[in-house]
Chains A and B, each alone.
Chain A
Amino acid sequence: MATYILKRFLQLIPVFLGATLLVYFLVFSLPGDPIAALFGDKPVNEAVAAKLRAQYNLDQPFIVQYLLYLKSIFTFDLGQDFSGRPIAAVLGEVFPVTARLAVMALIFEAVFGIAFGLVAGLRKGKLFDGTVLIASLIVIGIPIFVLGFILQFFIGVQLGWAKPTVSAAATVQDLILPAIVLGLASFAYVLRLTRTSVIENMNADYVRTATAKGLSRFRVINVHILRNSLIPVVTFLGADLGTLMGGAIVTEGIFNVPGVGNRLYRAVLSGEGPTVVSIVTVLVLIYCLSNLLVDLLYAWLDPRIRYDS
């Protein structure tokens, strides 16, 4: 097991290098000069621009810029954004907010998705099952920003049950509505995945055996059906954490959440290479780690899976 985990961690190194190189290159290739854009409609003051370009290494060729950036990572100094603030501090501000949002969305989709999926699967073909299937189809079909605006307008503005945007502290309470919107599409997928899986397992031999042994219905469902049905669901949820963190841009925009998505969007528009790359790199690492976690969870859920050679 330990060797396996170590191997997986070593795999992160090429992933990290590849991701940073690629993203840095993409930002570098964005058309337009970010320093000239700082001057807006006004004439570019060449002396000032030259000084700023040198400060952000923008006067260097691409590969030198990239290597300087790598160097800055290994010296734990990620450089500065255009407002002169350390990028490390920026990351420290935005990631906790988005992590809170993503984890809340994940809890929402896991708890409700699995619960509804389980009930729907157990009552296959009944009214509840049908309703759930149609409703989840609608949720999957409607784009997230439409759902976001509708819920914001009705729950936030018309009914006044929640604030339409998130307050400065971005508390858990503030984030309930955005988290539901963010998790809604995945919730529908989790539900459908659980349902299919439950239906499949209900006909499995070991379930029949368990029932025949005279186990209580609760124990059959809980230990034999549910636990086995969770394997594909867990894979999905694990991969989804990364998607939720990176994909929160739209939701964060609608509800004005001061998180990763908002900052990333602004950095892309203004062409702040190091800021974009730093944010994306952390996102990539989160994605890789959550996948590793999923693989480890497999072993726990299904004892047949073993990672040692």
Chain B
Amino acid sequence: MRFSRTSKALGVAAIIALAATGCGGGGSNNSGSSAGDPNKVIIADGSEPQRPLMPADINEVGGGKIATLIFSGLVSYDPSGKPVNELAESIEAPDAKNFTIKLKKDQKFTNGEAITAKTFVDSWNFGAAAKNAQLSATFFESIKGYDETSAEGSTVETMSGLKVVDDTTFTVELKQPESDWPLRLGYTAFMPLPAAALADPKTYGEKPVGNGPYKMAENGWQHNVQIQLVPNADYNGPRKAKNGGVTFKIFQNDDAAYQDLLSNNLDILQTIPTSALKNFKTDLGDRFIEKPYAGNQTIAIPEYLPEWSGEAGKLRRQAISMAINREEITKVIFSGGRQPAKDFTAPVLDGYSDSIPGSDNLKFDAAKAKDLWAKADAIQKWDPNTVFTVAYNADKGGHKAWVEAMTNQLKNNLGIKAEGLPFATFKEARDLATSAKLTGSIRAGWQADYPSLYNFLGPIYKTGAGSNDARYANPEFDKAISDGLSAPSVSDGNKAMNKAQEILLKDLPAIPLWYQVAQGGWSTGVSNVDYGWDGVPLYYNITGK
């Protein structure tokens, strides 16, 4: 019985080793050769894209990562989230409403087709038109004529706000002034598409043809297995590939990806799995990164619940917010993988401030919290049998641990009943929020689509906004937001956005908890790893050793 004995011995040894070293190091390896090998093919972790790779149909990270690399739009974002021109020569609008966009000359797709003003206009019209059912169609909503093209069953296929002037110039008229609109243009939905792709999206969704720093290798998309990208030699923008290609190996399970990283079968792992958070720093030595990115975590508390409405509800939300010890949870549960929130946006964004008046409401102060709760009780009595619930999805994201820690803090600091309310899948939890059937709070995460303060405020807290889980409605806030959008410049706009945040910090339709921090690691075979503002590695920059 040699086999079972071996496995038994291995098992015992494994348990001892796991306990003693917390999963020791990953052995030795020397894969690369000279410093900065430009031909090294980077093996990265990916997930199977949910939809065909048509830029405006992509709505999740698996496809988004690929699209960002194989397409180049008017602008791209530098590591700090600042937009830099790719195909755009200039984007101008004196009134923040009528934009004139000039393109660089002689730009081409990898199939040789020229990219002109018409390419952009056609691609955007395609993305917005209802008949094409693109998941990200809403990104074009600011453009005049969007409502007509996107209405259910609409046969209008062009937005009236888009006009081709000449080969390299087109104009965009928005419905109302939006000073931060140019910031959006680096998002995948705004990428140009070759004419053939618009004519036959099915084929091109499988074998996309783009113009980015990489292109899809011949039969590069092996479904559920891997996606191979090779450098596009004709690309001359700011994100030129410094390696011999990127192969995204598709993982269903982060733990498997982590084992692959430890044994150098994977060069870069975007997110360290929850199970390895305690020991990845010992495992990887100096081959890891921790960098905040444009995402945050909140719990939304719907105002349509009687106990959370009116003045009493507001006081209670403030009390809940101050009863949460964010420092402790980020340290103990996340081992520093999150940063306590000080506003509703994220620190990597241009215009961010950690000292907006009212941000004291996000500081831990158990005594004051108790006080506020008592004040609320004076207005409207809290039934001591009511349980404050925090709904979350248990399928991924590892939310259970922090929800439990937080509800325990609420129990201890406010003396109320509080508990997590797990849902088996994300879609189940979302259904409750979108149909306004929540019975308590719900965890909400927001990851920016484009680096702008507005992106964290407008789509979530404006009256009637699509992601307004709390059904928050405050005309004062709506006005402050639209003032910010019609500001003549992005920096004036940012000031106005922070003014709007003052209102939010008082009302707390959602309670900001923490900012997201990207935690990733890489193999011994690569160097020059850095992450962008959105928490995604800058794959084009990675070199072999």
Q: Does A269 contact B (CB under 8 A)?
A: yes
Q: How far is the CA of A2 from the CA of B11 in the complex (A)?
A: 50
Q: How far is the CA of A273 from the CA of B165 in the complex (A)?
A: 48
Min CB gap A129→B, angstroms: 9
Determine whether the beta carbon of A48 is less than 8 Å from that of B135. Answer: yes
Which of A31, A34, A45, A254 makes the CB contact (< 8 A) with B135? A45
Determine whether the beta carbon of A165 is less than 8 Å from that of B27. Answer: no
Q: Which residues of A have CB within 8 Å of B253?
A: 253-254, 256
Q: Does A12 contact B (CB under 8 A)?
A: no
Determine whether the beta carbon of A41 is less than 8 Å from that of B467. Answer: yes
Q: Does A243 contact B (CB under 8 A)?
A: no
Determine whether the beta carbon of A90 is less than 8 Å from that of B223. Answer: yes
Closest to B469 in A: A41
Q: Does B196 contact A (CB under 8 A)?
A: no
Complex interface residues of chain A between 124 and 181 (CB less than 8 A to chain B): 128, 131-132, 135-136, 138-139, 142, 146-147, 149-158, 160, 163-165, 168, 170
Min CB gap A157→B, angstroms: 5
Choose among A47, A142, A255, A271 the residue with the greatest number of B CB atoms under 10 Å from its CB. A47
Determine whether the beta carbon of A158 is less than 8 Å from that of B130. Answer: no
Min CB gap A109→B, angstroms: 11
Q: How far is the CA of A258 from the CA of B60 in the complex (A)?
A: 21
Determine whether the beta carbon of B224 is less than 8 Å from that of A262. Answer: yes
For B, the interface residue count at a CB cutoff of 8 angstroms equals 76
Q: Which residues of A have CB within 8 Å of B23?
A: 153
Chain B 246-285, CB-CB to A under 8 Å as 1, else 0, gives 0001111101110110110100000000000000000000
Q: How far is the CA of A38 from the CA of B135 in the complex (A)?
A: 8
Stretch of B70-78, B311-319, B424-432 with 4 or more beta carbons under 8 angstroms from chain A: B424-432
Q: Does A7 contact B (CB under 8 A)?
A: no
Interface of B is mostly: mixed
Determine whether the beta carbon of B8 is less than 8 Å from that of A138. Answer: yes
Stretch of B46-54, B326-334, B536-544 with 4 or more beta carbons under 8 angstroms from chain A: B46-54
Interface of A is mostly: helix
Determine whether the beta carbon of B8 is less than 8 Å from that of A135. Answer: yes
Q: How far is the CA of A38 from the CA of B151 in the complex (A)?
A: 19
Closest to B256 in A: A256
Chain B 439-470, CB-CB to A under 8 Å as 1, else 0, gives 00000111100000000000100000111000
Choose among B135, B138, B202, B256 the residue with the greatest number of A CB atoms under 10 Å from its CB. B256
Please judge, given known A-B contacts A43-B465, A139-B4, A160-B263, whether A154 and B427 are in contact too, CB under 8 Å: no
Q: How far is the CA of A125 from the CA of B423 in the complex (A)?
A: 52
Q: How far is the CA of A269 from the CA of B51 in the complex (A)?
A: 15
Determine whether the beta carbon of B14 is less than 8 Å from that of A256. Answer: no
Determine whether the beta carbon of B224 is less than 8 Å from that of A93. Answer: yes
Q: Which residues of B have CB within 8 Å of A157?
A: 26-27, 259, 262-263
Determine whether the beta carbon of B256 is less than 8 Å from that of A255. Answer: yes
Which of A40, A94, A136 makes the CB contact (< 8 A) with B60? A40
Q: How far is the CA of A152 from the CA of B258 in the complex (A)?
A: 11
Q: Does B152 contact A (CB under 8 A)?
A: yes
Determine whether the beta carbon of A158 is less than 8 Å from that of B27. Answer: yes
Complex interface residues of chain B between 93 and 112 (CB less than 8 A to chain A): none
Q: How far is the CA of A42 from the CA of B259 in the complex (A)?
A: 33
Stretch of A68-76, A78-86, A199-207, A291-299 with 4 or more beta carbons under 8 angstroms from chain B: A78-86
Chain B 391-432, CB-CB to A under 8 Å as 1, else 0, gives 000010000000000000000000000000001111111110
Closest to B264 in A: A160
For A, the interface residue count at a CB cutoff of 8 angstroms equals 73
Complex interface residues of chain A between 32 and 70 (CB less than 8 A to chain B): 32-34, 36-48, 50-52, 55
Q: Does B85 contact A (CB under 8 A)?
A: no
Determine whether the beta carbon of A147 is less than 8 Å from that of B224. Answer: no
Min CB gap B148→A, angstroms: 12
Q: Does A114 contact B (CB under 8 A)?
A: no
Q: How far is the CA of A50 from the CA of B262 in the complex (A)?
A: 45
Q: Which residues of B have CB within 8 Å of A154?
A: 10, 13-14
Which of A90, A254, A265 makes the CB contact (< 8 A) with B256? A254
Please judge, given known A-B contacts A154-B14, A157-B26, whether A38 and B137 are in contact too, CB under 8 Å: no
Chain B 493-524, CB-CB to A under 8 Å as 1, else 0, gives 00000000000000000000000000000000
Determine whether the beta carbon of A132 is less than 8 Å from that of B444. Answer: no
Min CB gap B13→A, angstroms: 7
Please judge, given known A-B contacts A42-B467, A154-B10, whether A258 and B250 are in contact too, CB under 8 Å: yes
Q: Which residues of A have CB within 8 Å of B51?
A: 38, 82-84
Determine whether the beta carbon of B256 is less than 8 Å from that of A165. Answer: yes
Determine whether the beta carbon of A265 is less than 8 Å from that of B252. Answer: yes
Q: Which residues of B have CB within 8 Å of A150?
A: 7, 10-11, 14-15
A-B complex: 7 closest residue pairs judged by Cβ atoms: A43-B466, A32-B427, A135-B4, A37-B427, A51-B133, A164-B259, A32-B428
- Spell out A's residues near B (CB within 8 Å): 30-34, 36-48, 50-52, 55, 82-85, 90, 93-94, 112, 116, 120, 128, 131-132, 135-136, 138-139, 142, 146-147, 149-158, 160, 163-165, 168, 170, 184, 188, 252-256, 258, 262-263, 265-266, 269-271
**A-B CB contact pairs (8 Å), 29 listed:** A31-B423, A31-B424, A34-B427, A36-B434, A37-B425, A40-B59, A41-B467, A42-B59, A43-B465, A47-B151, A47-B153, A48-B137, A51-B133, A52-B133, A82-B51, A83-B50, A116-B1, A135-B1, A136-B1, A138-B11, A139-B4, A139-B8, A153-B14, A156-B263, A157-B26, A158-B24, A165-B251, A165-B265, A256-B260
Q: For the A-B complex with A55-B133, A253-B253 known, give 14 more contacts whose Cβ atoms are closer than 8 Å.
A: A31-B424, A34-B427, A39-B59, A41-B445, A41-B467, A42-B138, A45-B137, A47-B150, A48-B137, A84-B202, A120-B1, A128-B1, A135-B4, A142-B11
